[in-house]
Structure 1
Amino acid sequence: MANEINESATGRLIEYNLYPFSLAELAADTSEREEKRLLENRLIYGLYPEVITEPGDAKRTLTSLTNNYLYKDLFSYKGLKKPDVIQKLVRALALQLGSEVSYNELSNLLGIDKETVENYICLLEKCFVVFRLDSFSRNLRNEIKKGKKIYFYDNGIRNAVISNFAPLELRTDAGALEFKWNAKAKSKQPKVFMESYPNSVYEIITPENFWSFVR
């Protein structure tokens, strides 16, 4: 969408990307201990400024953002003729959080071609709704071809999309909201990855040690 900016602004335009709060930013105002206590709340309601400053209205704020503003830029973008498909796509991505996403499967689910799916996801990235993570392969060319995982910039928006603000003990997706929610669950080093990248560091992130990762 940056291409739509009037060329007369060239040389006079300073672009800022304003993301939701980070836990490190919040801890600077509260404390690491307090943010650890609030971790479950942060995972469910996210880190949008208004959600943080008015926690009692978090659910209403997120629902309003999702219904009224989340797709505003996309729907006003020229050539976008199927806004209902965008909404279905975002919901499908929210339900697949943490899993590899197949453009072919999304194409069949939504009844649109694979190229349109990819274009819509690119637009969602430009609007800072989601971002993609590439898969790993020993063949670098295959990393480009293989499926990707798609995450939301903010958990609160993702949970609002699927209308699920249930506490973690009642959820089946707790593990998808953080790297390893159950610290006692078994996990082992990915052998092929470690062999291909011998200088890499392997660490399991859990609620007990996440501060060293997010600082």
Structure 2
Amino acid sequence: MLENRLIYGLYPEVITEPGDAKRTLTSLTNNYLYKDLFSYKGLKKPDVIQKLVRALALQLGSEVSYNELSNLLGIDKETVENYICLLEKCFVVFRLDFFSRNLRNEIKKGKKIYFYDNGIRNAVISNFAPLELRTDAGALEFKWNAKAKSKQLKVFMESYLNSVYEIITPENFWSFVR
């Protein structure tokens, strides 16, 4: 079921009614995803937030530039940042800090933005294709080959002493997400 979870996410109704997963996610996205955001006072351009969510969904796994999003959406950079902050508060997305060998660069670099639920992300871009047909499969999956060696991991452990890490594999995936 792991591939289904990567495509359709973990919303309870999606799991209990897998035959209706696409319809459920499309309904959630169209009717409820933006409800909290649209009711927020001061939100002047609800259509812009929908375009922002779509742009973020298409950039999954890539560094996000607020300047680029600002130009794309025709709004200022501060508004982009405020809207992303609102999306975080509503548990739609979360920001992940950039990792660099140079700790100063970590502060300067942008962030990657991920969706809490892949099903919602995939509904936003209307893509429920199987993993083998997707160009974005790498952005949906953990790097979970237990035998893979990573130079970045060594640098991370040297930079952040007393840190712990875990390589996610199909065998420990469920214990990781619980």
TM-score, L = length of structure 1:
0.74
Kept in 2: contact 1:66–1:160 (CA 8 A)? yes
1:184: Cα distance to partner? 7.7
Check 1:116–1:63 CA distance in 2 against 1; reply closer, same or farther (3 A cut): same
Kept in 1: contact 2:37–2:43 (CA 8 A)? yes
Q: What residue in structure 2 maps to residue 134 of structure 1?
A: 97
Q: Comparing both chains, which one has the higher relative contact order based on Cα–Cα distances under 8 Å and sequence gaps of 6 or more? A: 2
Paired-residue identity, %: 98
Task: List runs of 5+ in structure 1 lacking aligned partners.
Answer: 1-37
Check 1:210–1:122 CA distance in 2 against 1; reply closer, same or farther (3 A cut): same
1:144: Cα distance to partner? 4.2
Check 1:212–1:55 CA distance in 2 against 1; reply closer, same or farther (3 A cut): closer
In the TM superposition, what whole-angstrom CA distance separates every residue of 1:84-129 from its partner, at most 9, and x where no partner exists? 1101100111111111111111111111111000000011111111
Question: Which stretch shifts more, 135-144 or 124-133?
Answer: 135-144
Kept in 2: contact 1:189–1:202 (CA 8 A)? no
In the TM superposition, what whole-angstrom CA distance separates every residue of 1:156-198 from its partner, at most 9, and x where no partner exists? 0000000000000001111111212677877434443232124
- In 2: Cα distance, 1:61 partner to 1:167 partner: 18
1:211: Cα distance to partner? 4.4
Larger Rg: 1
The answer to whether structure 1 residue 97 and structure 2 residue 76 are counterparts is: no
1:172 to 123, 135, 138: 135
Kept in 2: contact 1:174–1:181 (CA 8 A)? no
TM-score, L = length of structure 2:
0.88
Question: Which stretch shifts more, 135-144 or 98-107?
Answer: 135-144
Check 1:182–1:140 CA distance in 2 against 1; reply closer, same or farther (3 A cut): closer
SS in 1 for 2:152: coil
Kept in 2: contact 1:50–1:61 (CA 8 A)? yes
Task: List runs of 5+ in structure 2 lacking aligned partners.
Answer: none
Check 1:138–1:168 CA distance in 2 against 1; reply closer, same or farther (3 A cut): closer
